[in-house]
Structure 1
Amino acid sequence: MAHSSRFVAISAPLLLLAVLIGVWALAAGVGGTSSLFFPSPSNFVSRAVALAGESWFWNRVGITLAEAVTGSIAGALVAVPVSWLIYRSSIINAALQPFLGATQAIPAIALAPLLVLWVGRGFGAIVLLCALMVFFPILVSTTVGLRHLDQDILDAASLDGASGWRMIWSIELPLVMPSMLAGVRNGFTLSITGAVIGEMVMGGTGLGSLLSQQQHNLDTAGMFVTVAVLCLLAMSLYSVVYAFERSGKRAVQQRRHTWIRSSR
């Protein structure tokens, strides 16, 4: 059963990718569509090979990835403690709760011009934009996870003498880890979008600025390649965090069984 589910998990995306490439090739070949407007898969591959051979292209990939990862880590380092404050303090919870939903509706492209006025342009400003984009998904996910902690385990830990930092570090953090990592997973994916928007609006030397240059030069095939690389970066970050999330869930389940047995 496990082997069949693993086979489906691998083969299904590959089959969908093959179908999409087939549809893409058919659409590019209908009516003599110019590659200037809609490049074919062969145009895409040739342009991808050309860009892959350029060191400056990989430098731009590294810059965008660094902006996204740095901003994600910064946002998580602030969001997680704030979520604990909301969980622990009824006053802070009452003050912030009405605004949590509204803050997630603010588009990044609306924040970018304001950040230019406040902090200027360049790497630091783009990192700040990424941090703001990932802050709220991580905050909301971690807060929800804290509110749904297993009360029986918390009570058993309290009876065993756990309190303060020991309660947070040994009990609450392991239990909330899956929810927190789910927010991190979504936030890291959003950070790629934040980095691209930031480079387009706030200045930068990564893939976002490259997209603007390719649009100006009518390099449509190059734009397709850059977008594909951005998708791969987002998928890679998503997969890495998801792997940690799955291992965290298994660890929490094992510890939950241990805590429940010890409390009886």
Structure 2
Amino acid sequence: MSQGTVSEVPVAGVAERTRPGPGDRLRDGLERSWRPVALLAACLAAWWAVTAAELVKPYLVPSPGRTLDVFAEKWDYIWQHTWVTTYETLLGFALAVAFGVLAAVVMVYSSTVEKTLYPILLFAQVIPKIAIAPLFVVWLGFGMTPKVFVAVLISFFPVVIAMVTGLKAVDPEMLELSATMGAGSLATFLKIRFPASLPYLFSGLKVAVTLAVTGAVVGEFVGANEGLGYVILQANGNLDTPMLFAGLLVMSAIGVVLFVLVELAEALLIPWHASRRGSAVTTTY
């Protein structure tokens, strides 16, 4: 063997895989997505069949065609209220992430704060938000603030728990090595603790972003004159089930889109974690 040549010695029980290319990723994406798409198509077909056979009254369950007609007829109205709910959701989610990450860092680095704050967070989480949302309306008025506050409150807990778990899950040997190399607390946090906690954080963000939609709509249920929660309440009061179904579908779509965006951010920011899940090297035992 000439100098500079690296010999590739196979290891017993280990099969090496090449990293997937763009084509492989596309095929993998299609492989993972066709099942939920097929299930969604089956649900739509069942919905259409039930309404076409008139098994239920139209004022109870509208047909898919009538629901689509509502989108076509009142698109501007639906879009206006959709944007309001989306803005409340994004603002509440952003604030929950900022304060949640900050609270988690403080709790990890201070056992006193953790022992003091953790029971309070748990107590606040188990309280039904629909029960205390009217208080926020009384305290903060009928504007956007109480809706954002409910969105923050309902999505804050998953962020804190995920971040605390991630920061505590760092390999102790890595922390010892960092201390041996003379790294300070800030350098250790930026180079070791925070990157290692990102997979846990993104798991919490996926839960939190969908809960933020729920929080914004719950706040609109209590007192609002705009937003999807307002649309759903108005449609329910007027027995306008096509509009009610349209509002529910749009609300669900917001949650799905935001969830997918968080997953895309995860793939971009921590590709090393995604490649590890893709098992570039697998055992054959």
Q: What's the TM-score once normalised by structure 2's chain length?
A: 0.82
* SS class of match (2:53): helix
**Native 8 Å contact 2:48 2:64 kept in 1:** yes
Q: 1:3 to 1:71 in 2, by over 3 A?
A: closer
Question: Which residue of structure 1 lines up, in the alignment, with residue 43 of structure 2?
Answer: 20
Question: Which residue of structure 2 lines up, in the alignment, with residue 172 of structure 1?
Answer: 193
* SS class of match (1:33): coil
- Number of residue pairs aligned between Structure 1 and Structure 2: 253
Read off the aligned partner of 1:212 and give its amino acid letter: L
Question: Which residue of structure 2 lines up, in the alignment, with residue 7 of structure 1?
Answer: 30
**Native 8 Å contact 1:63 1:206 kept in 2:** yes
Question: Which residue of structure 2 lines up, in the alignment, with residue 35 of structure 1?
Answer: 58
Structure 2 CA distance for aligned equivalents of residues 248 and 218 of structure 1: 46
Structure 2 CA distance for aligned equivalents of residues 39 and 242 of structure 1: 33
Q: 1:79 to 1:3 in 2, by over 3 A?
A: closer
Task: Tell which structure's C-alpha radius of gyration is larger.
Answer: 2
* SS class of match (2:74): helix
Instruction: Measure how far apart 1:49 and its partner are.
Output: 1.9
> Percent identity between the aligned chains?
27
Structure 2 CA distance for aligned equivalents of residues 132 and 38 of structure 1: 33
Question: Which residue of structure 1 lines up, in the alignment, with residue 12 of structure 2?
Answer: none
Question: Which residue of structure 1 lines up, in the alignment, with residue 116 of structure 2?
Answer: 95
Q: Choose from 194, 201, 209 the match for 1:188.
A: 209
How far does the alpha carbon of each residue in 1:41-91 deviate from its partner, in whole angstroms, 9 at most, with x for none? 111222222222x2x321211110000110111111111111111111111
Q: 1:151 to 1:252 in 2, by over 3 A?
A: farther
Question: Which residue of structure 1 lines up, in the alignment, with residue 236 of structure 2?
Answer: 215
Read off the aligned partner of 2:213 and give its amino acid letter: I
Q: Choose from 142, 161, 164 the match for 1:140.
A: 161
**Native 8 Å contact 1:123 1:204 kept in 2:** no
Read off the aligned partner of 2:74 and give its amino acid letter: L
Of Structure 1 and Structure 2, the greater helix share is in 1
How far does the alpha carbon of each residue in 1:198-227 deviate from its partner, in whole angstroms, 9 at most, with x for none? 011032411111111111222101111111
Whether 1:231 and 2:252 are equivalent positions in the alignment is yes
Q: Mind listing any 5+ residue stretches in structure 2 that lack a counterpart?
A: 1-23, 276-285
Q: 1:136 to 1:204 in 2, by over 3 A?
A: farther
Q: What's the TM-score once normalised by structure 1's chain length?
A: 0.88
Whether 1:79 and 2:100 are equivalent positions in the alignment is yes
Read off the aligned partner of 1:80 and give its amino acid letter: V
Question: Which residue of structure 2 lines up, in the alignment, with residue 243 of structure 1?
Answer: 264
